[in-house]
Structure 1
Amino acid sequence: MTRFIHDQFAKDYLEQLLKDYGEVKASEKVSGEIKEIDVFFTPAQQQSSNLQVLGLLGRFAEHPAIIEPFRNPASTDEICDCILKLLEVKAALRREAKANKSKLQDSEIPKLWVLTPTVSETRLSSFGTIQKSAWLSGVHFLPDALRTAIVAIHQLPQTPETLWLRLLGRGSVQSQAIVELQALPLDYPYQQATLELVYNLRENLRVNQELEVDDRELIMRLEPLYQRDREQAVQSGEQRLVIRQLNRRLGDIDASLTEQVKGLSIEQLENLGEALLDFSSLADLSTWLNQQSR
């Protein structure tokens, strides 16, 4: 089933985003009947200001957190199972505090974030959820004592603040988030690492013979982005190679000439790599570049 491929992607993805800000444990086992927490996050003692780059996900990571992502809409029983995991963790922390003769602080108890693509009003009503004014639409809080929120990813507004969570959605919501991710500057935090995880997801899905419609559409939407990224990677590598060769042959070339080189196509870069063997001065390079713009 492709659900397990998506589950592994979600765990790897959340670990990649959160590991700079604290301790991340994926598939953490809890006591009682064998259960696993998908992602158990403990923030570092010194909070990083860079956490804001993760938007809404960064707000979740301001405190200890249990994050349970679901590929399909979470059922009532699945949400209850998540709450049970939280209660078992809380009980274990209380036992540990008692053994150490210390008081368990409220800030030490994790909050549970159940990530689901969609959730019905009937299901939300059955858990007595409320919307809090300080939070975005789509984040539905259970009564405070349960320390739990159900996050309906497809209800989140389409803003940069929600991008990192919408990447865990389905269908057009996930596809749109991937487009937004690809459009970020190349040096934007987590952009390249996340794209690599998304492309790995694409490869894992491609070898599966029983794909859902959503998965087939995801592969099709990723194909042009994947090809473009790979072409850009090849072009970037060719640029670095040619610029290095030019610097060795002609000395350090100035910024304006460097920018012209970076604007060349892969074919032009390959031609320059051959032509530069006959260059003896920067004037030769400048003349060659001017010829390409005609």
Structure 2
Amino acid sequence: MTQKFYSQFVEHYLESLLSLLGRVEVSGLVTDEERRGTVLLLPKEITQTEKQELGLLAKVAQSDCSIEVYCEQISETEVRNCLRKLLSVFSTLNCRTEAEGKILDDNDLPYLWIVVPLASQDLLNSFGAQLELEKWTVGVYFLPNVFRLAIVVVNELPVTTETLWLRILGRGETQRQAVSELLALSLSNQLRQNTLRLITSWCVVLIQQEDNLTEDERELIMNLSQAYQQWEDTTKQQARLEGQRQVVENLLRFRFGEVDDELSTTFDSLLQLSPEEFTPLCLQLSREELLARFVTE
């Protein structure tokens, strides 16, 4: 179940973020055996604001690319399978270009980014993957350029705002730290709100399967529990305030027969008080006294 739900989460998560940068296509195929979430991006021209908001993820998505995210360490066979699919895409593009009487420049070929929570040095060495620290941060390894493939090792990425959106796809402490940073973002940050909404929806689905959860699923819930708890607390607070607001409205309607726009401006101030405090005031003060004391500008 973990692989299936993880794949769905990755696809929805990246689709939500990358839609700012261009047209996004998800794999559309998720099975119980699926071990990754796959997203294809066809980018538009990226603004400076979008680059700043998405950091390293925006840099990864600055040209046509496919992003495959694995929830655990991958094997050499899986990297070779990725290479095989990528070379097949290159062949198709070359045939199409030749049929049009054109020549396909290597720089026009799409890039494949494999995102993994961790990777052994032996695996990276076996494919000749190297860091390019002049242009990229630690944790981003490039195979020889002819392959147009890079491996992002999430637990090696520096803990900065630039890498936040990729570190959320990590495991263990890496993911927990990223979620804490996500919660610390401004409440007005739309990416924060969208991501929290997705995380909590995913947690709700997993929690409903509590009796059948695997160890991986329990780890994921633990990593995301801080975000889920904040969402739950906020939801309860909103429900409580909405209920109290209804009580205030009912009290004033009982007292004055109706609640017009002018009288409704007292709600926010009255709700700063406890029910024990606002109830007698609603029943005892005159309309003029309520407006004078509690009207909100």
Question: 1:89-114, CA deviations, whole angstroms, 9 ceiling, x for partnerless residues?
Answer: 12121122222223324443211110
Q: Is the 8 A contact 1:113 1:151 kept in 2?
A: yes
1:268 alignment partner AA:
S
* 1:57-72 → structure 2 map (5 Å cutoff): 57-72=57-72
Structure 2 Cα separation of the partners of residues 136 and 210 of structure 1: 39
1:180 positional shift:
1.2
Matched ranges for 1:172-187 at <5 A: 172-187=173-188
CA distance, structure 2, for counterparts of residue 235 and residue 247 of structure 1: 26
The answer to whether the Cα contact below 8 Å between 2:129 and 2:144 also exists between their aligned partners in 1 is yes
Q: Tell me the CA shift for residue 57 of structure 1.
A: 0.6
Within the candidate set 286, 290, 294, 1:285 is matched to 294
Could you tell me how far 1:59 is from its partner in structure 2?
Answer: 0.3
CA contact (8 A) 1:117 1:153 kept: yes
Give ranges in structure 1 of 5+ residues lacking alignment. 30-35, 289-294
2:139 corresponding residue in structure 1: 138
Q: Extract unaligned runs of 5+ from structure 2.
A: 30-35, 250-258
What secondary structure sits across from 1:69 in the alignment?
strand
* 1:154 alignment partner in structure 2: 155
Runs of 4+ in 1 over 6 A off after TM superposition: none
Contact 1:171–1:214 (CA under 8 A) maintained in structure 2? no
Contact 2:142 2:151 survives alignment (8 Å): yes
Provide closer, same or farther for how the CA distance between residues 101 and 209 of structure 1 changes in structure 2, counting only shifts above 3 A.
farther
SS at match of 1:39: strand
Distance 1:276 1:232, change over 3 A: farther
- State how far apart, in whole Å, the 2-side matches of 1:176 and 1:23 are: 30
1:249 aligns to 2:262 (yes or no): yes
Preserved CA contact (<8 Å) 1:139 1:151: yes
C-alpha contact (below 8 Å) 2:139/2:156 kept by paired residues: yes
Q: TM-score, normalised by structure 1?
A: 0.80
SS at match of 1:9: helix
* Rg larger for: 2
Is 1:268 the equivalent of 2:274?
A: yes
Tell me which residue corresponds to 2:254. Answer: none
Query: What is the distance in 2 between the residues matched to 1:5 and 1:149?
Result: 25
User: How far 1:172 sits from its partner (Å)?
Assistant: 1.6
Q: Supply the RMSD in Å over aligned alpha carbons.
A: 3.3
CA distance 1:122–1:230, shift in 2 (3 Å): same
Q: What residue in structure 1 maps to residue 253 of structure 2?
A: none
Equivalent pairs counted in the alignment come to 272
Q: 2:93 corresponds to which residue? A: 93
Q: Is the 8 A contact 1:57 1:164 kept in 2?
A: yes
- Taking the TM superposition and a 5 Å limit, the aligned residue runs for 1:21-36 are 21-27=21-27
CA distance in 2, matches of 1:60, 1:274: 60
**Conserved 8 A contact 1:276-1:285:** no
Alignment CA distance shift 1:197-1:121 (3 Å)? same
Q: What pairs up with 1:160-239 in 2 under 5 angstroms?
A: 160-206=161-207, 207=209, 209-236=211-238, 238=241
Q: Is the 8 A contact 1:250 1:282 kept in 2?
A: yes
Among the aligned pairs, what percent are the same residue? 34
> 1:144-198: per-residue Cα shift (whole Å, max 9, x none)?
1111111110111111111100111112211221121112111113111111211
Write the distance in 2 (CA, Å) between the matches of 1:274 and 1:97. Answer: 79
Deviations 1:186-227, CA, capped at 9 Å, x for gaps? 111311111121112212322154434343243245445423
Query: Do 1:137 and 1:157's aligned partners in 2 also have CA atoms closer than 8 Å?
Result: yes
CA distance in 1, matches of 2:28, 2:214: 29
